[in-house]
Structure 1
Amino acid sequence: MSSVPPPDRSDDEPSSLSDEQLESFLREAAEGGGASAPKEPSARARMVARRLREQEEPTPWRAPQRATKGAGRPRRRRIGTVVGVLVLAAVAVVAVRPSLVLDRLPGGDGASETTPLAAETARPTGAPGEPAESERATREHPFRGSPAERWAEGADAIEVPKAKALSGMSEDDVAFALRRTKELLVAANLDPAVLRGERPDEALAVLDPKQPELLPKLRRSLSDPDEGHDPLRLFTRFDPSETRLAGDVVKVRGRMTLAAGEPGVVKVDADYTFVYPLVRTGEDDGPVARTIIRRVLTLTLNDPAKWNVTEGKLLVEKYFSEYGNTDCDVYDGYLHPGFPDDGPGGARPTGPPTDPYDRSRPLTGSGSEGCGQVTRT
């Protein structure tokens, strides 16, 4: 079987203008001035950029390749840790339609502040602008004042690209890998039971038990979490005695792409940001907090005829996470959001200010920036 190489990618290609950037530019131009300074969130609304340190990441792993007749002993293959920007999609060059510009001007007949954004097809070139409506979120409008107000909702926001035969795998095989990747993302980050702290059994069922250490480490993190075994690296969980979702909507933005690996290996790269509106448990009235989680991961489907893997299961090549608005240095297996009316408390932020909505930043796990301050939630 011949392998199909991934499309050529070049960092020198010109970048397209994202919807968020275009909207921000036009709004500022119409108002006759620059964007206002970002609002300072509450003291506890901190950014925990607890990126997986190299020694804490799942070792980038390839299953042992099966021996072929006359080939001698199979040898274990490993992939070195990727350092630097992960190029997940080719950057397209597009022309801006004049009608699009006119539609975005205030008073036009086109897109408004609540018009849903088009699906993300490439890495954005900058952070989204500040929404024109800067009022505080309410239980009736939990995404008010957030770029996520225009994002798609829930599982429907995770769009699976068109499958194609790749790296010796059939179109049906590739479609299966894409579908299972979405199932993992949904089960780990959108399942209501998992969000309230229950075991993510459906997510765990996607993963190959033959991958050394991964499943035992994940199960240990769920039963006995600590700094070295933190389930939040892959699963989103809130303490039900402390917080609950404000409604049943989670906003999601990101993209999924395909790449060819070695013969008999197809890779699926996923980069998604999830925005969770939250209220305190037991309160019928009170403020709304938002916690923002970004996850970047690469999963692979390996041909069991060529590799020593479990048929129908996915391998995890790498995964990185970043959390916006949760307490620093707490490793009890739950996210702990700060609310607008919280007083001072918790660990002091030590990392740089970070915009959790900025999806143009690479997330590679090449080092930890510590616990910093979010510029907005």
Structure 2
Amino acid sequence: MSEKPSDDQPSASELPDDVWEQFTRDTERDIRASAPKEPSARARMVTERLRRQEERGELPPGWRTGPDPLAANRRAGRRRKLWAVLGVPVAAAVALVALKPSLLPGDPFGPDGPGDAAASPLPAETAAPTAPPGGSPPRTPTLDEPFAGSPALRWADGAAGIVPPEAKAVGPASKDRVAQALELTKRLLVGANLDPRTLRGARPEAALAVLDPRQPKLLDDLNTALRSPSERNDPLTMFSRFDPDETRPVGDVVKTRGRMTFEQGSHAGVVVHADYTFVYPVTRADGRPEVARTIVRRVIDVELPDPTRYRVTPGRLSVKKYDEEIGNSACDVHDGYLHPRFPSSDDRDREPTGPTIDPYDRSRGIDDGGPCGTVTRT
């Protein structure tokens, strides 16, 4: 309930003069502020220009009212719905991978789960190792996993494991000549040890094409060994070859590890020293699902002389020295092929007779093992 004003409250006529004058000024100010104002000349020009643009259709719809808040909400709603649709399968996939990481492409955590570095690739070898590679968990190689249980599992595949060093000028040999020598050496190694035709027992034409025909003694010996293999002329001293009637390769990967170095040659050229090990997984040609691995290490010195000073064929290599060490191949068999022993082999007359060696040990010299050694692992 409202109260009736008392008769003793002052009327407007009884207010002091200064209060009444302040009231009058404030009222006039408020009236002026709320009164309509005549637009300036510039404002009238802008308004007229916008009107004409609107008539010509040059302004977007809704330019007078600003953005539609409902449209923005609709777009946000679509984004939320999209995330709701994607969120469920993504969350399920994350949970599934957490339970079984091997489902990821390439099995990034290795065969034994997260943190296992067993299958992580090794960096390229740039210096002689100081010890043999560590032991691997004992696993039987299979057709699906031919390098299981082998240190070579971490080695590079094929030619990717032959990484020449950076070329630099040495003595009178220019940087380009050194680079040429390194590239030719790689071609020789690939043609002699990785070319599928060579591995199947065919003539290693790609490797022979790199050698200088003006070095006739070497080529004569190699041609004789390929044509009529014997203990004296054995093509395995330079080439890796398997008998296609006895074995066939498992997959198309040969594991490779090694290094190259170079130095000034004696014929105004450059000498390249190569030391590489190749691991070959094979199975029986008769279809029995057994897998064996043969390991071949090759050490070779080749020279690219200066053809302007010596009677040599430009772009061809002269072989100065070569040697090999073979692990897991029959002894005293000189038919020009490697003969790996399989788990079920019973040919006791072809047992290795030399000292025990680790074919993966690249820290020792190649002459330390002797001929036809007994391997500690394959």
TM-score (norm 2): 0.68
Partner of 2:158: 154
- Does the residue aligned with 1:194 lie in a helix, a strand or coil? helix
Indicate if the aligned counterparts of 1:167 and 1:262 stay in contact, CA closer than 8 A: no
CA deviations on 1:195-214 (whole Å, 9 max, x unpaired) are: 00000011011011111410
Q: Report sequence identity in percent.
A: 55
Q: State the 4+ residue runs in structure 1 displaced beyond 6 angstroms.
A: none
* Number of aligned residue pairs: 268
CA deviations on 1:125-147 (whole Å, 9 max, x unpaired) are: 1111111x312111000000000
Q: Does 1:129 align with 2:130?
A: no
Partner of 1:375: 376
* Inter-partner Cα distance in structure 2 for 1:240 and 1:220: 21
Indicate if the aligned counterparts of 2:267 and 2:310 stay in contact, CA closer than 8 A: no
Residue 347 of structure 1: how far off its partner (Å)? 3.2
CA deviations on 1:271-318 (whole Å, 9 max, x unpaired) are: 0000000001130x5110000000000010000112221111100010
Partner of 2:122: 117
Indicate if the aligned counterparts of 2:181 and 2:317 stay in contact, CA closer than 8 A: yes
Q: Give the superposed CA RMSD.
A: 1.9
* Inter-partner Cα distance in structure 2 for 1:286 and 1:263: 52
After superposition, where does 1:219-238 map in structure 2 within 5 Å?
219-238=223-242
Q: Does 1:257 align with 2:261?
A: yes
Distance change >3 Å, CA 368–CA 215, structure 1 → 2: farther
* Inter-partner Cα distance in structure 1 for 2:319 and 2:267: 17
Distance change >3 Å, CA 311–CA 113, structure 1 → 2: same
Which of 184, 188, 213 lines up with 2:217 in the alignment? 213
Q: Does 1:203 align with 2:207?
A: yes
After superposition, where does 1:238-249 map in structure 2 within 5 Å?
238-249=242-253
Residue 370 of structure 1: how far off its partner (Å)? 3.2
Which of 165, 178, 187 lines up with 2:182 in the alignment? 178
- Does the residue aligned with 2:325 lie in a helix, a strand or coil? strand
Partner of 1:296: 299
* Inter-partner Cα distance in structure 1 for 2:375 and 2:324: 15
Higher relative contact order (CA 8 A, sep 6+): 1
Distance change >3 Å, CA 156–CA 107, structure 1 → 2: closer
* Inter-partner Cα distance in structure 2 for 1:170 and 1:372: 42
Residue 344 of structure 1: how far off its partner (Å)? 4.1
* Inter-partner Cα distance in structure 2 for 1:244 and 1:344: 19
Partner of 2:353: 350
CA deviations on 1:73-116 (whole Å, 9 max, x unpaired) are: xxxxxxxxxxxxxxxxxxxxxxxxxxxxxxxxx9985x611100
Distance change >3 Å, CA 328–CA 263, structure 1 → 2: closer
CA deviations on 1:32-73 (whole Å, 9 max, x unpaired) are: xxxxxxxxxxxxxxxxxxxxxxxxxxxxxxxxxxxxxxxxxx
Partner of 2:309: 306
Residue 254 of structure 1: how far off its partner (Å)? 0.4
* Inter-partner Cα distance in structure 2 for 1:148 and 1:357: 8
- Does the residue aligned with 1:259 lie in a helix, a strand or coil? strand
Indicate if the aligned counterparts of 1:327 and 1:346 stay in contact, CA closer than 8 A: no
Residue 370 of structure 2 aligns with an amino acid whose one-letter code is E
Residue 376 of structure 2 aligns with an amino acid whose one-letter code is T
Q: Does 1:279 align with 2:277?
A: no
* Inter-partner Cα distance in structure 1 for 2:372 and 2:323: 15
Residue 171 of structure 1: how far off its partner (Å)? 1.2
Partner of 1:61: none
Residue 274 of structure 2 aligns with an amino acid whose one-letter code is A
Partner of 1:340: 343
Which of 312, 317, 330 lines up with 2:320 in the alignment? 317
- Bigger Cα Rg: 2
Partner of 1:43: none
Q: Which structure has more helix as a fraction of its residues?
A: 2
Residue 167 of structure 1: how far off its partner (Å)? 2.0
* Inter-partner Cα distance in structure 2 for 1:142 and 1:263: 44
CA deviations on 1:311-362 (whole Å, 9 max, x unpaired) are: 1110001000010000001000000000011124233433111110010111
Indicate if the aligned counterparts of 2:330 and 2:351 stay in contact, CA closer than 8 A: no
* Inter-partner Cα distance in structure 2 for 1:258 and 1:116: 26
* Inter-partner Cα distance in structure 2 for 1:180 and 1:138: 35
* Inter-partner Cα distance in structure 1 for 2:184 and 2:133: 30
* Inter-partner Cα distance in structure 2 for 1:249 and 1:368: 27
Partner of 1:25: none
Gaps of 5+ in 2: 1-111
Residue 149 of structure 2 aligns with an amino acid whose one-letter code is G
- Does the residue aligned with 1:213 lie in a helix, a strand or coil? helix
* Inter-partner Cα distance in structure 2 for 1:321 and 1:107: 38
Residue 363 of structure 1 aligns with an amino acid whose one-letter code is I
Which one is further off, 303-312 or 256-265? 256-265
